[in-house]
C-alpha cells in the first residue's frame, strides 16, 4: 500500500512537471503572438498615411482588410491561449492539492504501521516476560 502511494505521488509529480513545461511553452507562444500582433499594428500604421494615389486603391484596401483580419485572428488566438493558461493553472492547483492529500495519507499510513504493526509485534513478544507489557499489547491491539 505504501509503495502504491509512493508510485502515485511520483506520477503526480511527473504530471505537475509536464504541466509546468506545457505552461512555459504556452507562455512562449503567447509572447510570439504578441510580437506578431505588434508588428502587424506597426505595419498598419505605416500603411495608413501613404497617399492613396501612389498605390492602387483596391490593392491597398485588400491589404488593409487582410491585415485587419489577421489582427482579429491573432487577438482571438491570444484570448484562447489566455483561457487555456487559466484552465491549466486551475488544474495545476488541483493536482497540488491531490498531491498534498496523498502525502497526508502516506504519513497516516506510516504512522499506522509504526503504531499498530511494529508496537503490536514488539509488545506481543515481551508480554510473557513483563507484566506491564501485557497491557500495552492489549492497548495497541484495541487501538488498531
Q: pLDDT per residue over 65-74, tens digit each?
A: 777 788 788 8
Number of domains the chain contains: 1
Where residue 141 falls among pLDDT bands split at 50, 70, 90? low
What is the pTM assigned to this prediction? 0.51
Q: What are phi and psi of 136, to 5 degrees?
A: -65, -40
Confidence of residue 135 (pLDDT cuts 50, 70, 90): low
Domain of 86, in residue numbers = 2-50+61-143
Residues written for the chain = 144
Is residue 135 in a domain? yes
Looking at residue 48, its pLDDT comes to 66
Model confidence at 90: pLDDT above 60 = yes
Split at pLDDT 50, 70, 90, the class of 45 is confident
Q: Which residue's entry shows cell 513478544?
A: 125
Per the domain annotation, does 56 fall within a domain? Answer: no
Integer Cα distance of 51 and 12 in angstroms = 61
Amino acid at each position: 500500500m505504501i509503495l502504491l502511494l509512493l508510485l502515485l505521488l511520483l506520477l503526480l509529480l511527473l504530471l505537475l512537471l509536464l504541466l509546468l513545461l506545457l505552461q512555459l511553452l504556452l507562455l512562449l507562444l503567447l509572447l510570439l503572438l504578441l510580437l506578431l500582433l505588434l508588428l502587424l499594428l506597426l505595419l498598419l500604421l505605416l500603411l495608413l498615411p501613404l497617399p492613396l494615389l501612389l498605390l492602387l486603391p483596391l490593392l491597398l484596401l485588400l491589404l488593409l482588410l487582410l491585415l485587419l483580419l489577421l489582427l482579429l485572428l491573432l487577438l482571438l488566438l491570444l484570448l484562447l491561449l489566455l483561457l487555456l493558461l487559466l484552465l491549466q493553472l486551475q488544474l495545476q492547483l488541483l493536482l497540488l492539492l491531490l498531491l498534498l492529500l496523498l502525502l497526508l495519507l502516506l504519513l497516516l499510513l506510516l504512522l499506522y504501521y509504526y503504531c499498530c504493526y511494529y508496537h503490536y509485534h514488539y509488545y506481543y513478544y515481551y508480554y510473557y516476560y513483563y507484566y506491564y507489557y501485557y497491557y500495552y499489547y492489549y492497548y495497541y491491539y484495541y487501538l488498531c
